[in-house]
C-alpha cells in the first residue's frame, strides 16, 4: 500500500515521475505474482484513496497518470486513511502479507479535517504512532531534498517504526529493487 505525498514539494525535481514509474513497475511485477497494489494520495486539504488494492495494471496506470501535484500537505489525514485501510484489509484476509510504503518529506501543514484547527505535526505524530502499533512492515521514503533539510521525513520514519531511505538516493529501478527486497 503506497501513501504518496502529492503536495507542491513533490512536483520539484521530477520526484513524482520517479514515484509513478516505481509504482507501475511494481504493479506489473505484482500482476505476475498475483499481489495487489493500492495508492493513497494526499495534497491540498485532504487525502484520498486513488487506487483500491488491485492487480489491474491499466486502471492503475490511468489513475497514476492523472495524479496532480501541488498544494499543502495533509499528512495526518493520509495516515488515518492508511490505518483504516490496513485494518479493513487485515479483517478481510488475516493471512495476507502487507507492506506500507510512505513517500513524503514529512512536512505536515494541514490539520485533520474534523479537528477544528489543531497542530498538523502533533496529529501526524499521534496518527503515525497509532499506525505503527498495527505492526505492518513499513518503508519510509523521504522525499526531502536540497541544501536545507528539515528532518521531518526521518522523524516520521521513526514514529512509524519504518525502514528509512531517502528517495533522492534511488533511481526508479533502485526503488523497485528496494521495495521488492522489503516484500521478500
Query: Residues 102, 95, 53, 135: what is their CA dihedral angle, to the nearest 10 degrees?
Result: -20
Report yes or no: 140 and 162 within 8 Å, Cβ to Cβ. Answer: yes
pLDDT for the residue 92: 93
Q: What is the mean pLDDT of residues 103-128?
A: 92
Q: What is the mean pLDDT of residues 95-121?
A: 90
- Tens digit of pLDDT for each residue in 133-142? 999 999 998 8
> Where do we find the cell 505524530?
125
pLDDT for the residue 60: 79
- Tens digit of pLDDT for each residue in 142-160? 888 766 667 899 999 999 9
pLDDT for the residue 147: 61
- Tens digit of pLDDT for each residue in 65-101? 888 888 999 999 999 999 999 999 999 999 888 989 9
Closest CA to 163 of 137, 136, 134: 137
The answer to whether the Cα torsion of 128, 130, 134, 135 is positive or negative is positive
Q: Compute the distance between CA of residue 174 and CA of residue 64 in angstroms, rounded to an integer.
A: 19
pLDDT for the residue 90: 93
**13 pLDDT exceeds 60?**
no
Where residue 106 falls (left for φ over 0; alpha for ψ -120 to 50; beta otherwise) is left
**What is each CA distance from 102 to 39, 58, 59, 135, 165, in whole angstroms?**
10, 23, 21, 15, 10
> Where do we find the cell 505535526?
121
pLDDT for the residue 165: 87
- Tens digit of pLDDT for each residue in 15-62? 777 777 767 777 777 667 777 888 999 999 999 999 899 878 778 778
Amino acid at each position: 500500500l503506497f501513501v504518496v505525498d502529492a503536495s507542491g514539494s513533490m512536483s520539484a525535481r521530477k520526484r513524482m515521475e520517479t514515484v509513478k514509474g516505481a509504482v507501475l513497475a511494481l504493479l506489473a511485477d505484482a500482476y505476475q505474482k498475483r499481489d495487489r497494489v493500492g495508492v493513497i494520495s494526499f495534497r491540498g486539504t485532504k487525502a484520498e484513496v486513488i487506487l483500491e488494492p488491485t492487480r489491474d495494471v491499466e486502471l492503475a496506470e490511468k489513475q497514476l497518470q492523472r495524479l496532480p501535484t501541488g498544494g499543502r500537505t495533509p499528512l495526518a489525514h493520509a495516515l488515518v486513511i492508511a490505518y483504516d485501510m490496513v485494518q479493513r484489509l487485515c479483517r478481510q484476509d488475516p493471512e495476507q502479507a502487507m507492506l506500507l510504503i510512505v513517500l513524503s518529506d514529512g512536512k505536515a501543514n494541514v490539520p485533520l479535517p474534523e479537528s477544528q484547527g489543531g497542530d498538523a505535526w502533533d496529529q501526524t505524530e499521534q496518527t503515525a504512532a497509532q499506525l505503527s502499533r498495527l505492526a505492518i512492515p513499513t518503508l519510509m521514503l523521504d522525499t526531502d531534498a536540497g541544501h536545507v533539510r528539515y528532518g521531518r521525513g526521518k522523524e516520521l520514519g521513526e514514529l512509524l517504526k519504518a525502514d528509512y531511505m531517502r528517495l533522492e538516493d534511488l533511481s526508479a529501478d533502485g526503488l523497485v529493487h528496494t521495495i521488492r527486497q522489503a516484500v521478500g
